[in-house]
Amino acid sequence: MIRSYFGIEKTPFRQEDINLLEGQQEIYDILKVHSHQGGLCLLMGEPGTGKTVIKDTFKKQAAKLTTVVTVARTLHTYTNTVKILCDAFNVDFTGTHFKCERRLIEEALNLYRTGKSLIIIIDDAHLMEVQTLRRLRLMLEDFPKNHNLILVGQPELLSNFALKVNQDIKSRITYSVVLKKLNPDDMADFILSQLDNVGLGHNTFTEDALSLVVRSAEGYLRQARNLCLSSMLEAVRARKKTIDLEIVNKVLIQPHWRTEDDIKHI
């Protein structure tokens, strides 16, 4: 609908088309370096701060000498987690977790012999049982030092490792970072860059409308993306080619954009 109405070939603000911002690029480069020394890295941030953008970039830019495996299902027992890893590595996952571990180690050694580095990304790691993570870490001790385990989650992940009982895991962390919310200038640049990607002019949003989107997004990439897309859909419905304050405000009156105090007075 957006493509046909605005006369463009690609849908704007698609997750797979979002490129790394300057600060995110630096974090990505550091994480990639750690894949050559047996790293254990933490990528943390509140929902919508850009963790998914960095994670997806690893998958999009995986070189011939890098294997990237992503695990998104973290609410599992250790045995099921190992079998999910086997499935991601395309190795047989039948039998006990001991057999699965041996196959995973063998596959890691095969990758090492071919000169490949290995990046394992576990999403929503703050939801994973610490005991499961501990056993996973012990298995990775037998991997050659050409891998990086990246735990992606919310900041509470670091709080869990701060407990003395989890010191054995914390002491092995080689890099950690917490993604911060974008400042207004970077948020505006992000929105305009997404318009550039699909061939839309910067005047698609009026200056006032763009400022309102930036303020309402509160520094969160996901909120900016959703608000821009919703505003474009509202513009299609209103038969307008320029998104102004009226269009953005029609989106912002929806309950999920309102504060708790606002909702109480509806």
Please, what are the domains in the chain?
22-179 (3.40.50.300), 182-253 (1.10.8.60)
pLDDT above 90 coverage of the chain, percent: 56
C-alpha distances (whole Å) from 146 to each of 39, 84, 176, 260 are 8, 21, 19, 48
CA distance 211 to 188: 8
Phi, psi of 244 (to 5 degrees): -110, -175
Most confident of 55-64, 88-97, 224-233: 224-233
Q: Is the pLDDT of residue 73 over 90?
A: no
Q: What is the DSSP string of 100-165?
A: HHHHHHHHHHHHHHTT-EEEEEETTGGGS-HHHHHHHHHHHTTS-S-EEEEEEE-THHHHHHTSGG
Q: Is the pLDDT of residue 26 over 90?
A: yes
pTM of the model as a whole? 0.87
The pair of structure tokens assigned to 248 is 């953005």
Q: Identify which of 47, 43, 48 has the alpha carbon closest to the alpha carbon of residue 120.
A: 43
For position 236, what pLDDT does the model report? 96
| Mean pLDDT score, 213-240 | 95
The pair of structure tokens assigned to 154 is 């919310």
Confidence of residue 40 (pLDDT cuts 50, 70, 90): very high
CA distance 243 to 228: 9
Phi-psi group of 259: left, alpha or beta (phi > 0 → left; psi -120 to 50 → alpha; rest → beta): beta
Give the pLDDT confidence of 140-164 residue by residue, as tens digits.
888 888 889 999 999 999 888 888 8
For position 263, what pLDDT does the model report? 47
C-alpha distances (whole Å) from 104 to each of 70, 84, 234, 237 are 14, 11, 50, 52
For residue 92, give the 3-state DSSP assignment: coil
Alpha helices in the chain (DSSP H): 2-6, 22-33, 51-60, 78-88, 97-113, 130-140, 156-161, 167-170, 184-197, 207-217, 221-238, 245-252, 260-264
